[in-house]
Amino acid sequence: MKVQSPAILALLVVFAGGLIAQPQVPNGSSSSPASAGEKVIKGTPFSADTIDVTDMVMPNGQRERHELHGRYCRDSQGRTYGDLGFRSSGEVAMPPILIKDPVAHTLITLDPVRKEAGISDSPPHPLKVKSTGIPPPPEPRQPRTVKVEDLGTQVMEGLTVKGTRTTKTYSLESEAVDPDNSFVMTTWYSDDLQIGISSEVDNGKRGSSQHKTVDIVRTEPDVSLFQIPPGYKVFDQREKLGANEEQQEKAPEINLQDLAWTDPSTGLMWTRMDNGINVNWKQADQYCGKMSVGGYSNWRLPTIDELNGIYDQKQNVGGYHIKGGIRLSNCCPWSSTLHDPEEAWLLHFMGGGRIYGRLDFTFRVLCVRSPGK
């Protein structure tokens, strides 16, 4: 099964990177329970079902609707278990289950299809770089107008929740404000459980998405949910930083030449890490064009075939099957290859499948340069 729908992609991509795509509420927590961040929330265990729906208008004018039913749990220690409910035994099998332990600072990804588990640091240890030619990430597009409304309180799923509606309106390149180019998010947040119970995002002509947390049971979840099931092949990618506490506090330091890796099978030189922030396709192309690493300035976006060339099912770096020890902060970097005039291909480094997204969608960037240039 090829995942070739930007509508379902909006749910899957961010979840695979550790988040369900939901807006931020005023206190800084996400409206989705699966994005509680690194904050440790102890003493409020619960289990709940989740429903995520996207209804998106495609470039050809057709609408696509997708609905996913999942599970989310948190124990008294603050550990979380998130299963978006996606399964595929075909060409793409994206690990749908994430177990986050904010006390041990580990993230476990479970792939029930392949019976594989990846263990990585959460958050990853920062890299201390002496000097680089990597440009700063492009600034995200800023809204022309922002309106925040307090919707008061109501009771949902037996909990008192606070409502907030945020409306952002963006302008076109002509600087004229387009009322149809708007983003409206409505969130209902529980201070008691510190999770979002309901949220809705209206992207105007582009479609909408909804998230609901339902059937909440406020008891301790089964401890086995937070453990790797028996029989799974385990890939442990945690940093080996030394045993004593002083060493563990030190981030690994890399030199300039370590910022790039040359694939011996193709001669292509790759950056050792992605840009760490989502940008649109045009920004991604500009980002690589401005890069100067290892004495080279002729970096560019890779083609989809070049990205496919560094996918390796036998390798596992933080849950991503990628060669050269390249560090990804999310699953799917842009390629330079267009699917059609309004969409470009990406490669999913968890499942290895080719997916595509609209050029105004935002994803990570991994840059490459050709040999002998």
| pLDDT score, position 373 | 61
| pLDDT score, position 58 | 65
| pLDDT score, position 257 | 53
Q: Does 47 have pLDDT greater than 90?
A: yes
Average pLDDT over residues 299-318: 90
Quick: pLDDT tens for 130-144.
444 555 555 555 677
Hey, how many other C-beta atoms are within 10 angstroms of the C-beta on 30? 22
Quick: pLDDT tens for 154-178.
999 999 999 999 998 866 554 444 5
> What tokens were used for 113?
């299809």
| pLDDT score, position 34 | 37
Provide the pLDDT confidence category of residue 75 given band limits of 50, 70 and 90: very high
- The better pLDDT of the pair 6, 172 is held by 172
Average pLDDT over residues 60-74: 84
Quick: pLDDT tens for 87-120.
543 434 454 688 988 888 888 888 787 788 878 7
Q: Does 279 have pLDDT greater than 70?
A: yes
User: Which of the given ranges, 34-43, 277-286, 356-365, has the highest pLDDT on average?
Assistant: 277-286
| pLDDT score, position 222 | 96
User: Whole-angstrom Cα distance, residue 256 to residue 206?
Assistant: 42
CB 348 within 8 A of CB 366: no
Distances (CA, A) of 301 to 138, 289, 337: 15, 8, 9
| pLDDT score, position 238 | 67
- Amino acid found at 198: S
User: Whole-angstrom Cα distance, residue 371 to residue 373?
Assistant: 6
**255-373 CATH, one of 3.40.50.1110, 3.90.25.10, 3.10.100.10, 3.40.50.11540:** 3.10.100.10
Which residues, at least 6 apart from 203, have a Cβ–Cβ distance to it below 8 Å? 182, 183, 209
- The better pLDDT of the pair 25, 216 is held by 216
Task: Tell me which DSSP letter residue 320 carries.
Answer: B
pTM value?
0.66
Q: Does 5 have pLDDT greater than 60?
A: no
Provide the pLDDT confidence category of residue 24 given band limits of 50, 70 and 90: very low
Under DSSP, is residue 278 helix (H, G, I), strand (E, B) or coil?
Answer: coil
On the CB side of 155, CA atoms within 13 Å amount to: 1
Least confident of 169-178, 193-202, 307-316: 169-178
Distances (CA, A) of 82 to 34, 289, 325: 6, 38, 27
User: Whole-angstrom Cα distance, residue 24 to residue 17?
Assistant: 17
| pLDDT score, position 136 | 56
User: Which of the given ranges, 84-98, 221-235, 286-300, 352-366, has the highest pLDDT on average?
Assistant: 221-235
Q: Does 2 have pLDDT greater than 60?
A: no
User: Whole-angstrom Cα distance, residue 328 to residue 315?
Assistant: 13
Q: Does 22 have pLDDT greater than 70?
A: no
Distances (CA, A) of 124 to 63, 109, 263, 303: 38, 14, 24, 27
CB 57 within 8 A of CB 11: no
Average pLDDT over residues 307-331: 86
**Mean pLDDT score of the chain:** 76
